[in-house]
């Protein structure tokens, strides 16, 4: 009886040891995978997106009239409920901070013809865009 008990405990210890080693190995391989994949994804991001605004963005001069209404190149638009406005330093800003100012922007319009995303352009970006046209 004792012999059977010691045999069972030996098996238990072995399986505890094995599960510990497998957990340790799986963590190691997961970290190694992430480290190896990180440069690939960064290279794809920089290759596909060399600007901070979306490829499909349109460009214009925006004048915010109130919290929901905006004029872009004298065309009236409404901000979408989840609209985001990024400053020239990539920070989210509120429409009220641009109230009455005319700024150069890149913007995306959703399927309801509402402004979905806006990027306030830096002077360098404005020059770059005007050279492309």
Q: What is the pLDDT of residues 7-30, one digit of tens each?
A: 567 767 777 777 777 677 676 666
Entry pTM: 0.60
Half-sphere exposure for 12 (CA within 13 Å, toward CB): 6
Both tokens assigned to 74? 């004298």
Instruction: Tell me the helices (H) and strands (E) count for the chain, helix number first.
Output: 2, 6
Would you state the pLDDT for residue 79? Answer: 93
Q: What is the pLDDT of residues 48-66, one digit of tens each?
A: 445 677 888 899 999 999 8
How far apart, in whole angstroms, are the C-alpha atoms of residue 27 and residue 96?
48
Would you state the pLDDT for residue 51? Answer: 65
Select from 65, 62, 69, 50 the least CA-distant residue to 86.
62
Is the pLDDT assigned to residue 119 strictly greater than 90?
yes
Rounded average pLDDT over 1-6: 51
- Domain definitions of the chain by residue range: 1-50, 58-132
How far apart, in whole angstroms, are the C-alpha atoms of residue 88 and residue 59?
14
How wide is the angle at C-alpha 56 spanned by C-alphas 52 and 61, nearest 5°?
75
Q: What is the mean pLDDT of the chain?
A: 79
CATH architecture of the domain with range 58-132: Beta Barrel (2.40)
């Amino acid at each position: 009886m004792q012999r059977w008990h010691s045999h069972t405990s030996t098996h238990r210890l072995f399986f505890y040891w094995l599960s510990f080693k497998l957990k340790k190995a799986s963590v190691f391989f997961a970290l190694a995978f992430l480290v190896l994949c990180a440069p690939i994804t960064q290279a794809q991001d920089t290759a596909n997106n060399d600007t901070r605004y979306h490829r499909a963005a349109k460009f214009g001069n925006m004048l915010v009239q109130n919290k929901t209404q905006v004029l872009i190149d004298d065309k009236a638009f409404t901000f979408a409920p989840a609209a985001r406005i990024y400053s020239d330093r990539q920070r989210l800003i509120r429409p009220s901070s641009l109230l009455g100012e005319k700024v150069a922007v890149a913007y995306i319009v959703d399927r309801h013809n509402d402004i979905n995303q806006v990027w306030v352009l830096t002077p360098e970006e404005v020059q770059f865009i005007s050279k492309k046209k």
